[in-house]
Amino acid sequence: MDFNECNKTNNLSTSNVDKSGDLSSSNSINFNFDEVNNRDNCFTRKWCGRSAIFGTSDVLPMWVADMDFKSPKCITDAIIERANHEIFGYTARPDTYDNAIINWLKNRHNLNITKDSIIYSPGVVTSLSIIVSSLSNVGDKIMILQPVYPPFAGVVTDNNRELVVSQLISNLDTKNSHQNTEYTSSNDENLVLEDNSNLNQAHPYSIDFDDIESKIKDVKLLILCNPHNPVGRVWTREELQRLGDICIKNDVTVISDEIHNDIIMSGNKHTSFASISEDFANISVTCMSPTKTFNLAGLQVSYIICKDIEKREKIQNEFSRLHLSDNNAFSLVALEASYNFGESWLDNMTQYIEKNFDFALDFINKNIPQIKTYKPESTYLMWLDFSDVSTCDDKISKALIEIGKIGLNSGANYGLGGECFYRLNIACPKETLVDGLNRIKKAVDYLIS
Ligand SMILES: Cc1ncc(COP(=O)(O)O)c(C=O)c1O
């Protein structure tokens, strides 16, 4: 069956969609990220899940990683057009779906892939778990770099594999003296130490390569967060090169979770691990999705890129065993519309996020100097160190919830190096951000009084 033909005859493709991604008209670019949207009435985890997480719904939710912004209009239009068809039977992916992914990765990430290297998945965490179960055996060692997104540890232990943790190096206490020392590999064998002081200025986190080398023997898989949630690093090409060289030497497969790859602050450049070389593409499996980029997590759509045929077959077999293969009907058109027409919205949204980061950093430095933090290079998440505010116990969480009436993610869930940290989601209108920061200040004032 020709699904493109099917699309054409049934008029279900995204070809009629407003290409501007605009919120108001097809010609004028008029994105409105200042609009405060009520999300309290539509089954949203961030808003409607407050009582379950914080014990009260009386908190401003600035936790789970989705945005309080509306998705671009090109996506909503595509979904409405699909809904108007009024038949929601089983789905099949048209070539235009794969082409949208291929073009996005080529144009935005310099990653050249073929259609057969794409594996569909409903979500990145699902992918991580399936890749772990298909590329390793019970009891195998799997390395992660903490503090990191909590499901990284979960997919290892839930699959009865052994967790090996390397803690990121942090010099948040001494961030002004950060040297920005990087390693490069001018050819694949000789590592050269050089000063990259123009890169990742003042970012306090880096990879502890010596620690990784001391622990990597017998490790089967390394799960990399690239860019990194929660610390907000965009790993440089040189850092990835050094990490990949260690993995090649030790026969370790890299699972590169690149879900945050599209939201990059100015002055930084995301490097897809697999784009570095043929060898890196062959030893890696990459997980990606438009869901963070365009705020589509509730549509459940993502994909895996795997060049190596043997690994790909193992992963694909595991998806087949679990009978996980079909897209949700709305996710099909949403992915296509977002990658084909959403770029301008994304660029504007990223600028808004960057302004929010700058504002929040300035606010915290001036008004809550007890909290140590910095401007992330990617994501829309700030990583706040409360260790100068109070002793690291549940006093801080209680004050945030009961005095500040704000819901943040507790860093303790992110593993080693997360104790005493809280994660703040700034993907919201400025008005909401100001409210949230004042609530954090109120809690801190209470704790230090
Ligand atoms: C690094 C990382 N991977 C995966 C996810 C979740 O992906 P999904 O909703 O597709 O399972 C998140 C969400 O915050 C994340 O930060």
Q: pLDDT tens-digit profile of 41-57?
A: 778 999 988 999 999 99
Nearest to 266 by CA among 237, 292, 234, 289: 234
Rounded to the nearest whole angstrom, what is the distance from the C-alpha of residue 259 to the centroid of ligand 1? Answer: 6
pLDDT surpasses 90 at 71? yes
The CATH classification of domain 95-340, taken from the options 3.40.50.720, 3.40.640.10, 2.40.50.140, 3.30.70.20: 3.40.640.10
Could you identify the residue written with the tokens 């116990």? 393
Are 333 and 364 spatial neighbours (Cβ–Cβ below 8 Å)? no
Domain locations in the chain? 45-61+344-448, 95-340
Give me the pLDDT at residue 43, please. 86
Mean pLDDT of the chain: 89
The CATH classification of domain 45-61+344-448, taken from the options 3.90.1150.10, 3.90.950.10, 3.30.470.10, 1.10.10.10: 3.90.1150.10
Rounded to the nearest whole angstrom, what is the distance from the C-alpha of residue 216 to the centroid of ligand 1? Answer: 25
pLDDT surpasses 50 at 412? yes
pLDDT tens, position by position, 92-145:
999 999 999 999 999 999 999 999 999 999 999 999 999 999 999 999 999 999
Nearest to 124 by CA among 350, 269, 291: 291
Mutate to test the pocket of ligand 1, among 149, 285, 409 (most ligand atoms within 8 A of CB): 149
CA distance 40 to 409: 19
Residue nearest to atom 14 of ligand 1 (CA): 65
Ligand 1 cavity residues, CB under 6 Å: 65, 123-125, 149, 225, 229, 257, 259, 289, 291, 297, 302
Distances (CA, A) of 448 to 72, 202, 367, 370, 386: 42, 27, 13, 9, 11
- State the average pLDDT over residues 62-91: 97
CA angle 276, 277, 283 (to 5 degrees): 100
User: pLDDT above 90 covers what percent of the chain?
Assistant: 83
- Is residue 107 exposed (0-12), middle (13-18) or buried (19+ Cβ within 10 Å)? exposed
CA distance 43 to 49: 8
| Residue 29: pLDDT band with limits 50, 70, 90 | low
Give me the pLDDT at residue 5, please. 33
pLDDT tens, position by position, 379-397:
999 999 999 999 988 999 9
User: pLDDT above 70 covers what percent of the chain?
Assistant: 87
| Residue 179: pLDDT band with limits 50, 70, 90 | very low
- State the average pLDDT over residues 240-258: 98
Would the pTM count as exceeding 0.85? yes
Angle between helices 73-83 and 329-341 (to 10 degrees): 150
Mutate to test the pocket of ligand 1, among 259, 289, 380, 425 (most ligand atoms within 8 A of CB): 259
The secondary structure of residue 326, as a DSSP letter, is P
